[in-house]
Amino acid sequence: MMRKYFSLIKFAHTIFALPFALLGLFLGFWVMNEKQVEPDNPYWLSFILVVLCMVFARSAAMAFNRYIDRDIDAMNDRTSKREIPSGIVSPKNALAFVIINSALFILTTWFINKLCFFLSPVALLVILGYSLTKRFTALCHLVLGLGLALAPVGAFIAVTGQFQWEPVILGFAVLTWVSGFDIIYALQDEEFDKANRLRSIPAFFGKGKALVVSTLLHLFTASMIILFGILIEGGWIFWIGAGAFLVLLTYQHILVKPNDLSKVNLAFFTTNGIASVVFACFAIGELILR
């Protein structure tokens, strides 16, 4: 039974945001150690709570997206076999799944700290609200990016109970990285979106210009990764990870052409999944070994 819900929420796609959330978490640990301040929760407990928040929040967001888009998905050949249109999961059960995971997310933040708890409805508003945005704005990709960008910032706050520039810069990197590769993924639905009055960068600009927008966003991502490295005074371990991330960021733009979308899935999932894990591992390793 759980398998169909894992499929509904594309659980494997957690690989995009979770590594950055863990990086935000370890950045918080490092800051607290530097300041010689005891955190509200033991580090092991913060780790568990942050991972649970990520799982609950992403499950709620993805299931809500599938619930809201069920009629649209049914009309699109690429998505018609998804769980709700195909009858594997009923709309009622999908909505119940959203409500349960949203409640568990808010409950989990209560055990982290008051700031996380009070900000949890705002986070839910962003990550759930994304699913509605393509009905009225082509900037929907940026809203998706913002939702994932909350991961490293929220994880940092979970440990420190405060805001700081480093996780915010990392959040900007995630925002533009996700927005850029989501535009690449949306190339597949350009004609469908136009025909059904759905908003996206590819539907608004066309494939060629959409890829230019994606490239510009990823150039900004690169600048934020470099700035983040400078702010934390990254050593050679960090810069190896950052270099690998930027190479993979570039590689996905080589894979996809306006007249050849055959490698979109390779660019979207495989390349970005590897990039996030590699970068986070090296950056976390840098913080741990200091």
Structural domain boundaries in the chain: 2-288
Per-residue confidence (pLDDT) for residue 2, from 0 to 100: 62
What pTM value is reported for the model?
Answer: 0.93
Contact by Cβ (8 Å): 221, 180: yes
- Find, among 163, 150, 140, the residue nearest to 65 by Cα: 140
Fold held by 2-288: Tetracycline Repressor; domain 2 (1.10.357)
User: Whole-angstrom distance between the N-terminal and C-terminal Cα of the chain?
Assistant: 45
d(CA 232, CA 222): 16
Whether the predicted pLDDT of 117 surpasses 90: yes
Identify the weakest region by mean pLDDT among 10-24, 48-62, 269-283.
10-24
- What is residue 10's three-state secondary structure? coil
Given a cut of 70, whether residue 6 has pLDDT beyond it is no
Per-residue H/E/C for 147-169: HHHHHHHHHHHHHHCCCCHHHHH
Q: Say how far residue 268 (Cα) sits from the centre of its chain.
A: 12
Picking from 72, 63, 58, the residue whose alpha carbon sits closest to that of residue 7 is 63
pLDDT for residue 9 is more than 70 = no
pLDDT of residue 79: 87
Query: Which residues are bridge partners to 257 per DSSP?
Result: 260
Best CA proximity match to 50, nearest among 33, 80, 28: 28
Residue 1: predicted pLDDT: 58
Neighbours of 168 (CB within 10 A): 17
Q: What percent of the chain has pLDDT over 90?
A: 78
Please write the tens of the pLDDT for every residue from 14-55. 777 899 999 999 999 999 988 888 877 889 999 999 999 999
Provide the pLDDT for residue 7. Answer: 62
SS3 183: helix
The pLDDT value recorded for residue 113 is 94
Pick from 199, 98, 83, 188: nearest CA to 141: 199
CA-CA distance, 287 to 279, in Å (whole number)?
A: 12
Looking at residue 38, its pLDDT comes to 80
CB 75 within 8 A of CB 196: yes
Quick one: which of 187, 192, 216 has its CA closest to 202? 187
pLDDT for residue 174: 97
Could you tell me the two tokens for 178? Answer: 């996700």
Least confident of 9-18, 26-35, 227-236, 246-255: 9-18
* Average confidence score pLDDT of the chain: 92
Q: Is the pLDDT of residue 8 over 70?
A: no
